Amino acid sequence: MDYGKCAREIYDAVGGKSNLVSAAHCATRLRLVTVDNSNVKMDVLENIDGVKGVFESNGQLQIIIGTGTVNKVYDEFLKVSGLTAASKDDVKAAAAAKQNVFKRMIKTLGDVFVPILPAIVASGLLMGIVEALGKIEALGFAHTDWYQFLDMIANTAFAYLPVIIAISAARVFGGNIFLGAVMGLLMIHSNLTNGWNAADGYKVWYLFGHAFKFGKYTFGQINQLGYQGHVIPVVIAVWLMCLIEKRLHKIVPEMLDLFLVPLITTFLTAMITFMVIGPVFSTAETYLLEGVQKIVQIPFGIGAFIIGLIYPVTVVMGLHHMYNVIEAGMLASKEFHNLNIWMPIASAANFAQFGACLAVGIKTVNAKRRTVAIPSAASASLGITEPAIFGVNLRLMKPFVCAMIGGACGAAFGSIVHLGAKAYGVTGIPGYLTINNIPFYTIMLLIAGGVSFVLTNLVWKDEAEEKKPIELDDLPADAEASLFAPVEGNVVSYKDIPDATFAAGILGEGVGIVPTKGEVVAPFDGVISSVTETQHAVGISGPKGMELLIHVGVDTVQMNGDGFKALVSEGQTVKKGQKLIDFSIDKIKAAGFDTTVAVLVTNSSEYEKFEVKANGNVSLGDEVLVVK
């Protein structure tokens, strides 16, 4: 693979330096933030050799290149673009700055909950294993000390979930993570009645002697009630803590900062949290979870069908991270029996993307599409759907719609049979490790993947995306073919070009054009046969077998590409008038070189008739010569 060529083509397709904000890469993808994604030539970008897929996510343009290759293309991209290396966090920050407030909020929730996935997944997997072993009466495992010990390990992440969330939130909001941990611990302190036992009653502290009523809410009192089973109040409380802390750092003298800032921050946050944030947002969270539960449990799986249908759309919009809040709340709630009933819906939706993408990979005759679709389908089966959605299904649209329907059908079945999981963040095949009913889960995946696979095969037709090559020799033998002016300027004889090789006709006959505008366009429909590394010349094959060389300036190879920008690549099909090269007339002159553009038919001796038609000034598209 030519890493430099791939990088240059990506650079051109995304709109060049003027449309770039920052660039970074991960293990498989080039991650770009552009000024305006509408200026990106997506069709060109997707067909670049080495690019396996392109999609937009969270304000980033993500170009899938592959492990071991992306870093080399990235190095070349930095050279051609002039950008400095950025970290993934830098790119995320730049992308986030472009998003609206709502999307930034959703992204923030993702930033809080995604990093704690390992703890949740580990606990959920262990919980599933321990419960499964405990149910086997023949083993008697449920009555052993090992069971008690492993059960303690499995439950820890959920029992102290507010602490984990508080630490992650403090990191995201830019506060002291240890103060965040204190807030999390405070909200589940042993002096408070455990939140899961709220129905048994709890005591109240009246710090101001009495409480104040505002509608259904009571303020001025502190309920001696822990926030086990709640996640939203913790996030809001730590957000407030970070605001207070950062404000105090600005106004408290440095010599007192170490003592006063943590003291005041902790006290104020605790007061506001237990008097306002806790009661208000725990109630709001309860309503949210109850609402989701009611929707999912609409009879005959109708609610789950609707959610499963729209789930992929929310992934495309980058809104799916908000589901982490719902799932974490379900896992922490005794009312849900610590069971995540949202996971089967997500799993069905994701596995449906696998089915549709696999159908495309099997059915397509496009070799490049197949090489993208098959691995993307495998990824989707494991719950990582972005390559399948953005690289294949959404681009072709019909497979995406088929996957929506398949996911909805699977989700409806999962709801009817009451599927649930012991963790979140794990879907597809890995979901077997956390699901409460493996046989029904298998059926659900078969429904989701099978429906989308069959529908995609039925409704999607493989309309190959490669452009049909232009037939260059389909003119009658006695027909003439024209070459039109590729440059605007003054036409001179090729013998008057101030270069001995050009003037002697060694490279073929043609014309020279002294340019008045710094751009070269295709003189006919054709195929690019070559592009010089210094981007000052191109070769193009055209009608009647014409082999044309367009060389900008004399001896300009010595400029090493400075002042030149090729907009096409070798093997690319072009249309008459399509821009091929941008160049700077001023830079050529400043470097001391002649600006004359040589337009030479390198196989001119093969033609019975070779006639120059133009003389003097020509505009782009004017007829310059004909051959027969």
For the annotated catalytic residues, the residue numbers are 26, 551
C-alpha closest to that of 177 among 189, 168, 186, 190: 168
Name residue 60's beta-bridge partners: 57
> What is the Cα 421 distance to its own chain's centre?
27
Give residue 55's Cα distance to chain centre: 5
Which alpha helices (H) appear in 364-437, and where do they start and end? Answer: 367-381, 386-388, 394-396, 398-416
Give the strand order in the sheet containing 616-618: 573-574, 526-531, 537-541, 547-552, 597-601, 509-515, 489-493, 616-618
For residue 191, give the DSSP letter.
Answer: T
Q: Is 146 helix (H, G, I), strand (E, B) or coil?
A: helix
Give the list of residues 6+ apart from residue 52 with CB closer than 8 angstroms, or none. 64, 65, 66, 371, 372, 375, 391
Structural contact between residues 156 and 170, judged by C-beta atoms closer than 8 angstroms: no
Alpha carbons within 13 angstroms on the beta-carbon side of residue 359 total 28
Counting every residue written for the chain, the total comes to 628
What is the number of helices (H) and of strands (E) in the chain?
Answer: 22, 22
Q: Which ranges of 562-619 does DSSP label H, i.e. alpha helix?
A: 585-590
Whether the CB-CB separation of 563 and 588 falls below 8 Å is answered with: yes
Closest CA to 11 of 70, 80, 71, 61: 80
Query: Which residue, chain included where needed, has tokens 């106004």?
Result: 251
* Cβ-contact 457, 357 below 8 angstroms: no
